[in-house]
C-alpha cells in the first residue's frame, strides 16, 4: 500500500547532474558558468544582511521586475513589470506554469531529446507526456502542433539541451500559432544565442518565455528565474506560485546582476569564444559536434562509445554529462568552461582517443 499518489509512487525522481562533494573535478557537466558573478551581487547581498533578514521579502520581487522591464523594452516595447513573474530558479517557473495549465489526466507535449525535467513535471502533475522527436535538422514537424483534445501545454527549450540547437523565432511563432494550447519557450540558454523569442509574447497571449540567471549571470547557487507573458496570463500564474517564492537575498542579488550589463557582456563574450574553440578542437579529435547556441556542446564520436568516454574522463578528474534518451541515442554534453578547464578536457580526451 502506498500513502502517496500512484503517479508519484510509480515515477522515478528527476536526477540532476552530479554535484560531487569531496573530490574537486574539472566540472563541465551541469552548464554552470566558470566565471564569478558581478561583484555588485555580493555587495547587494551584504546590504540585505545588514538591514536584517527577519522580515518577509517582497512577494512580487518588484525591484527585479522593474529593472528587467527596462532592460527588455528594446525587444518588447509593450513590457511593464506586470508582464513578469519571478521564480526560485526557472525550474520553479516551469512548475508554476505546469500547475496553472495542466490537470491530472491532461497532456503535456515536448520534443525529444530535450530537458529531462519536462517528463518529471508531467509525472508529478499526473499528466501524460507526449514526446515528439526532433527532425534530423533539429526543426519540429507537424506532429508537434497536431490537435489533441487533452493537450494543455507545450514546452520547447530554445536553445535546446542537449543539442544546443535553436529554432528561429519566426518558426517558433508559427508553431505557437498552430498549437491548440499555450507554448512555454524555455530560454534558459538564450543569453548565449544570437536571437530570442521575447518579442513573440506581445503577439500571442499563448506564448510564455522563461529565463534563468543560473548560467549567463553565474548565479546557479542563488536560484533565480522568471517568465514573461501577457499581464492577464501572469496574473493567473501569480495565484499558483508560493507567496514568498523568492528570498530577499536572491531578489537583491539578481537585480544587481541584471544591472551590471557590462560584466554580463564580457562574460558572455568569453564563453562564446571558448565555445568556438571547444567545438573546433572536438572536431579535430574526430567528434561529430553540432553548432551550439548555448553554453555547452553536444558531441558524439563515430568510433568511441559515449559512456566509456564519460567514465574515463571522470576517472581522469573531468566531469562531463553523459546523456542517453531511450529510443533515440546517447552522447556527451560538455559545458563551455574556462579556457583552462577546456584545455584540460581536450588534453585528456586526446590521450584517451590516441
Triad 354, 289, 200: Cα angle to 5°: 160
Nearest CB to its own copies, comparing residues 205 and 311? 205
Residue window 60-79: x/- pattern of binding to its own copies, with contact defined by CB under 8 A: --x-----------------
By beta-carbon proximity to its own copies, the closer residue of 1 and 354 is: 1
How far apart are CB 336 and its own copies at their closest, in Å? 13
CB of 304 to its own copies, least distance (A): 29
Q: Restricting to residues 306-335, which ones interact with its own copies according to CB under 8 A?
A: none
Residue window 2-41: x/- pattern of binding to its own copies, with contact defined by CB under 8 A: xxxx-xxx-xxxx-xx-x-x-----x--x-xxxxxx---x
CB neighbours (10 Å) of residue 47? Answer: 11
Put the strands of the sheet holding 183-186 in their side by side order.
Answer: 84-87, 225-228, 207-212, 183-186, 151-157, 107-112, 128-133
Structural contact between residues 208 and 182, judged by C-beta atoms closer than 8 angstroms: yes
Q: Give the separation between CA 23 and CA 90, rounded to whole angstroms.
A: 28
H-run or E-run covering 151: strand 151-157
Cis peptide before 159 (omega within 30 of 0): yes
CB of 25: closest distance to its own copies in angstroms? 11
Among 158, 253, 293, 320, binds its own copies (CB under 8 A): 253
Interaction with its own copies in 194-233: which residues (CB under 8 A)? 205-206, 214, 218-223, 233
Question: What are 286's three cell numbers?
Answer: 574526430
Using CA of residue 30, residue 31, residue 37, residue 41, what is the dihedral sign?
Answer: negative
Q: Is 249 in the site for its own copies (CB under 8 A)?
A: yes
Cβ pair 87, 246 in contact under 8 A: yes
Query: Judged by CB, which is closer to its own copies: 62, or 312?
Result: 62
Task: Kindly state the number of chain residues that form the binding site for its own copies, as judged by CB under 8 A.
Answer: 82
Q: Does 180 bind its own copies (CB under 8 A)?
A: no
Candidate residues 145, 161, 210, 245; the one interacting with its own copies per rule CB under 8 A: 245
Amino acid at each position: 500500500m502506498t500513502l502517496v499518489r500512484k503517479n508519484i509512487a510509480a515515477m522515478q525522481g528527476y536526477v540532476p547532474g552530479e554535484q560531487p562533494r569531496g573530490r574537486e573535478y574539472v566540472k563541465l557537466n551541469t552548464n554552470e558558468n566558470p566565471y564569478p558573478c558581478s561583484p555588485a551581487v555580493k555587495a547587494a547581498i551584504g546590504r540585505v544582511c545588514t538591514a536584517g533578514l527577519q522580515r518577509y521579502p517582497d512577494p512580487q520581487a518588484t525591484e527585479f521586475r522593474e529593472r528587467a522591464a527596462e532592460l527588455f523594452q528594446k525587444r518588447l516595447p509593450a513590457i511593464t513589470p506586470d508582464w513578469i513573474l519571478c521564480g526560485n530558479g526557472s525550474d520553479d517557473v516551469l512548475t508554476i506554469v505546469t500547475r496553472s495549465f495542466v490537470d491530472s489526466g491532461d497532456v503535456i507535449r515536448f520534443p525529444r531529446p530535450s530537458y529531462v525535467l519536462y517528463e518529471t513535471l508531467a509525472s508529478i502533475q499526473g499528466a501524460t507526456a507526449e514526446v515528439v522527436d526532433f527532425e534530423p535538422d533539429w526543426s519540429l514537424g507537424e506532429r508537434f502542433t497536431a490537435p489533441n483534445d487533452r493537450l494543455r501545454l507545450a514546452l520547447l527549450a530554445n536553445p535546446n539541451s542537449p543539442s544546443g540547437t535553436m529554432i528561429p523565432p519566426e518558426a517558433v511563432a508559427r508553431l505557437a500559432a498552430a498549437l491548440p494550447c499555450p507554448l512555454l519557450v524555455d530560454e534558459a540558454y538564450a543569453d548565449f544565442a544570437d536571437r530570442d523569442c521575447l518579442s513573440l509574447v506581445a503577439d500571442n497571449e499563448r506564448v510564455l518565455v522563461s529565463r534563468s540567471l543560473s548560467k549567463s549571470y553565474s548565479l546557479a547557487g542563488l536560484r533565480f528565474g522568471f517568465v514573461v507573458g501577457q499581464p492577464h496570463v501572469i496574473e493567473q500564474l501569480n495565484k499558483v506560485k508560493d507567496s514568498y517564492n523568492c528570498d530577499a537575498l536572491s531578489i537583491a542579488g539578481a537585480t544587481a546582476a541584471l544591472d551590471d550589463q557590462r560584466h554580463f557582456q564580457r562574460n558572455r563574450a568569453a564563453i562564446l569564444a571558448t565555445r568556438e574553440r571547444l567545438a573546433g578542437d572536438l572536431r579535430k579529435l574526430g567528434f561529430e559536434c553540432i553548432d551550439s547556441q548555448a553554453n555547452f556542446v553536444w558531441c558524439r564520436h563515430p568510433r568511441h562509445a559515449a559512456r566509456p568516454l564519460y567514465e574515463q574522463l571522470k576517472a581522469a578528474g573531468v566531469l562531463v554529462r553523459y546523456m542517453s534518451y531511450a529510443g533515440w541515442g546517447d552522447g556527451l554534453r560538455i559545458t563551455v568552461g574556462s579556457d583552462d578547464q577546456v584545455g584540460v578536457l581536450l588534453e585528456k580526451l586526446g590521450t584517451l582517443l590516441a
